[in-house]
Amino acid sequence: MRCAIIPPHVLDHIAEHHDEERLRELAQRTLVIDRGQRQTRAAAQLISEAEPTTGPATPKRTIHDAKHQQTLPGKTVRSEGGPATGDKSADEIYDWLGVTFDFYRSAYGRDSIDGAGLPLVATVHYAVNYDNAFWDGSQMVYGDGDQQVFTTFTGPLDVTGHELTHGVTQYSGGLDYSGQSGALNESLSDVFGSLVKQYHLGQTADQADWLIGQGMFAATVHGVALRSMKAPGTAYDDPNLGKDPQPADMAHFVKTSRDNGGVHINSGIPNRAFYLAATAIGGHAWEKAGRVWYETLTSRRVPTDADFKTFAGMTHETAGKLFGVNSAESDAVRAAWTTVGVEIA
């Protein structure tokens, strides 16, 4: 499944309500491109059958330039070990692919997105003022933004971490991209996107900002980021963007047929559950809370149509196996899910 960082409800609001015609047109053009991509790229639910590599794992990165066209992958501008190009977008993504690779290798012993050394491919300067970035099932793609609402998609590290984690989910058996399973899919990408950033900055759970996409908005936008895992629903409130619609608990679960059943909206609920678990456990969030979520995701036991309750129960079970049934870590996971209104049997 092609997964993009900017949800359709945000682009819809810009296309319908922005006070500048140019921005309305660019948002509408992005929506058209996004719909076309979803129609032409079949959902990829892949499980890696390759044997994990032995010895030191190293990334295999290739960066391409679409030169504002929509043909992928575009012209190769930098390969693994090659010198910087001088193109800020291309060089940022080369670095961020490396950081994300290093995070998964160092934190969880995973060799690339598929666990078996998958080459990391990315394309920058996709289309003209394209307001999105996405994982298409095989590579990363970044637009340049309209420069008035969205100024960069290559700058925030967690955007790359988020999108590449869609690949990790894909290669771990997948989660249906609709309803609660789709919201879990999005939440897992937010979780590990944030953890990649925290790992890179050396932050503990209490030091992290728990924001997704901080730095992509222009200075005139009233908002701190695209999403807040700590406080869903508070990331932005801007007349041209609308108000962040994410709920923080099941009492405010949003029922909608748009955005595949609100996958980018209701992901706020499991996002907050992870934040609560991670901060209650303390320390570096990728070491304990992150390991619980990672081991659950990659267990090959998560149903593709898993709902919040199913996944919550599995994370609690995993915490018990890793740290003990009556451990502080296990109790923190249960309490986090209970706080957001997801009861564990």
Do residues 280 and 273 lie in contact, with contact meaning Cβ atoms separated by under 8 Å? no
Domains 3-171 and 179-339 fall in the same CATH topology: no
Peptide bond into 73 cis (omega under 30): yes
166 is catalytic: no
pLDDT in tens, 224-283: 999 999 999 999 999 989 999 999 999 999 999 999 999 999 999 999 999 999 999 999
pLDDT in tens, 104-160: 999 999 999 999 999 999 999 999 999 999 999 999 999 999 999 999 999 999 999
Q: What is the mean pLDDT of residues 162-180?
A: 96
Sketch the domain layout of the chain as residue ranges.
3-171, 179-339
Determine the residue type at 336: A
Q: What is the mean pLDDT of residues 30-50?
A: 60
pLDDT at residue 38, rounded to an integer: 53
What is the spatial distance between Cα 172 and Cα 174, in angstroms, rounded to a whole number?
Answer: 6
Nearest residue to 267 (alpha-carbon basis) of 198, 342, 182, 168: 182
Do residues 9 and 139 lie in contact, with contact meaning Cβ atoms separated by under 8 Å? no
Do residues 83 and 89 lie in contact, with contact meaning Cβ atoms separated by under 8 Å? no
- Angle, helices 308-323 vs 268-281, to 10°: value is 20
- Specify the range with the lowest mean pLDDT, choosing from 4-18, 38-52, 222-236: 38-52
329 is catalytic: no
pTM recorded for the entire structure: 0.95
Q: What is the mean pLDDT of residues 193-199?
A: 98
Topology classification of domain 3-171: Elastase; domain 1 (3.10.170)
Do residues 271 and 227 lie in contact, with contact meaning Cβ atoms separated by under 8 Å? yes
Do residues 64 and 121 lie in contact, with contact meaning Cβ atoms separated by under 8 Å? yes
CATH architecture of 179-339: Orthogonal Bundle (1.10)
pLDDT in tens, 44-71: 444 444 444 445 789 999 999 999 999 9
What is the spatial distance between Cα 307 and Cα 286, in angstroms, rounded to a whole number?
Answer: 23
Contacts of 138 (CB under 8 A, 6+ apart): 44, 121
Do residues 24 and 149 lie in contact, with contact meaning Cβ atoms separated by under 8 Å? no
Do residues 265 and 259 lie in contact, with contact meaning Cβ atoms separated by under 8 Å? yes
Mean pLDDT estimate for the chain: 94
Do residues 113 and 138 lie in contact, with contact meaning Cβ atoms separated by under 8 Å? no
Quickly tell me which residue has 């728990």 as its tokens: 210
pLDDT in tens, 277-318: 999 999 999 999 999 999 999 999 999 999 999 999 999 999
Beta bridge partners of 227: 212
pLDDT in tens, 80-112: 999 999 999 999 999 999 999 999 999 999 999
Active site residue: 92, 163, 317, 329, which one?
Answer: 163
What is the spatial distance between Cα 175 and Cα 159, in angstroms, rounded to a whole number?
Answer: 20
Active site residue: 64, 166, 264, 316, which one?
Answer: 264
Tokens of 54: 């032995």
What is the spatial distance between Cα 275 and Cα 149, in angstroms, rounded to a whole number?
Answer: 28
